């Protein structure tokens, strides 16, 4: 099995990526330049587009599922009708940062750091945190995605790790955590532009994000490590995300940047979302 993820090329509104032995061509609106390696695109195992609907070409050439190790985490991948495959590799550098930061916190304090992953999808960040020895809470509104994340935990021999698997609406869950007095040392949240909660609750980032951040602030421990905020929503630039976090913290370090898909040195870096984080001093 080939364990690496790699961006092979991008351009003309598309991206070409390798996940293990599988090469996929999919849409990417921000890739407005010309491809640098046109020949590479002929090697695609399958392609997906949204022209006139949601369309896979070559989907039968794909296995029902396959496993790939990304940033030290084994992930089960599978083509979905919407063109997703169960991982957003632009977040992999953040997984590595979470893993190293929580491992250092555990070594410094001698106790399990508590990590909360909101809008947690298939669990890459949760599992990176668990690898560092953190006690984790993994929350997503989709039962199917939480089940998928649990499968990923088993692939990484973390099925018995201290992970709470929660299917719920984020705001309702956080309000209950505040009442229970549950607190966390590190929090990651990746709010969608638009989403639905467990019971159909509407989540729109421009309407609910401030409430979400208010509640995140309330569930931070007395000695927190970090809050990490990511977004794929247009307009939520790194500076916007940093300014949102600065509303809650007068001291500490603020960092920000773009989430990038990368490959070999001669391949154009491809931005795909933004991040900002507050780190307690």
User: pLDDT tens for residues 84-136?
Assistant: 999 999 999 999 999 999 999 999 999 999 999 999 999 999 999 999 999 99
pTM score of the predicted model: 0.94
Percent of the chain with pLDDT over 90: 91
Q: What is the pLDDT of residue 204?
A: 78
C-alpha 213/C-alpha 229 separation (Å) is 9
Average pLDDT for 193-206: 70
116: nearest Cα among 137, 142, 91, 98: 137
Q: Mean pLDDT score of the chain, rounded to an integer?
A: 95
28: nearest Cα among 272, 263, 275, 276: 272
The three-class DSSP label of residue 53 is coil
Q: Which residues contact 263 (CB under 8 A, 6 or more apart)?
A: 6, 7, 8, 9
Q: What is the pLDDT of residue 198?
A: 63
Beta strands in the chain (DSSP E): 5-11, 14-19, 22-27, 46-49, 55-57, 66-70, 73-77, 114-118, 135-140, 163-167, 186-189, 194-196, 202-204, 226-231, 253-261, 270-279
- Predicted confidence band of residue 193 (pLDDT cuts 50, 70, 90): confident
The DSSP element (H or E) to which 218 belongs, if any, is helix 205-218
Q: What is the pLDDT of residue 69?
A: 96
Decide: 87 and 79 in contact? Cβ < 8 Å. no
Tell me the pLDDT tens digit for each residue of 18-64: 999 999 999 999 999 999 999 999 999 999 999 989 999 999 999 99
- Which residue ranges form the domains of the chain, and what is each CATH number? 5-77 (2.60.40.1180), 89-279 (3.40.50.150)
Half-sphere exposure of 134 (CA within 13 A, CB side): 30
Report residue 122 as tokens: 């298939």
Least confident of 77-86, 89-98, 202-211, 251-260: 202-211
- Predicted confidence band of residue 2 (pLDDT cuts 50, 70, 90): very low
Q: Is residue 196 pLDDT above 80, yes or no? A: no
- Predicted confidence band of residue 199 (pLDDT cuts 50, 70, 90): low
Q: What is the pLDDT of residue 119?
A: 96
Q: Which residues contact 175 (CB under 8 A, 6 or more apart)?
A: 215
Tell me the pLDDT tens digit for each residue of 133-186: 999 999 999 999 999 999 999 999 999 999 999 999 999 999 999 999 999 999
CA–centroid distance for 59 within its chain: 24
- Predicted confidence band of residue 192 (pLDDT cuts 50, 70, 90): confident
Q: List phi, psi (to 5°) of 208.
A: -105, -10
- Predicted confidence band of residue 197 (pLDDT cuts 50, 70, 90): low
């Amino acid at each position: 099995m080939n364990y690496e993820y790699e961006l092979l090329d991008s351009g003309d509104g598309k991206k070409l990526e390798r996940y293990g032995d599988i090469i996929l061509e999919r849409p990417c609106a921000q890739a407005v330049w010309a491809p640098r390696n046109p020949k590479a695109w002929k090697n695609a195992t399958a392609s997906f587009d949204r022209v006139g609907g949601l369309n896979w070409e070559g989907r039968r050439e794909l296995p029902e599922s396959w496993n790939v190790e990304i940033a030290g985490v084994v992930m089960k991948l599978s083509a979905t009708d919407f063109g997703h495959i169960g991982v957003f590799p632009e977040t992999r550098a953040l997984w590595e940062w979470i893993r190293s930061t929580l491992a250092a916190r555990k070594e410094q304090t001698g106790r399990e750091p508590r990590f909360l992953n909101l809008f947690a999808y298939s669990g890459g960040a949760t599992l990176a945190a668990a690898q560092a020895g953190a006690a984790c809470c993994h929350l997503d509104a989709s039962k199917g995605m939480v089940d998928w994340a649990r499968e990923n935990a088993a692939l990484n021999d973390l099925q018995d790790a201290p992970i709470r698997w929660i299917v719920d609406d984020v705001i309702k869950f956080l309000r209950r955590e505040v009442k229970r007095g549950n607190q966390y040392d590190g929090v990651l949240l990746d709010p969608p532009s638009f989403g639905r909660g467990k019971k159909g609750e509407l989540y729109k980032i421009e309407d609910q994000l401030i409430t979400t951040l208010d509640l995140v602030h309330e569930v931070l421990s007395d000695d927190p490590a970090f809050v990490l905020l990511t977004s794929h929503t247009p307009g939520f630039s790194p500076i916007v995300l940093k300014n949102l976090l600065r509303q809650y913290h007068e001291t500490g370090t603020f960092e920000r940047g773009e989430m990038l898909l990368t490959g070999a040195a001669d391949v154009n870096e491809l931005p795909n979302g933004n991040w900002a984080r507050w780190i307690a001093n």
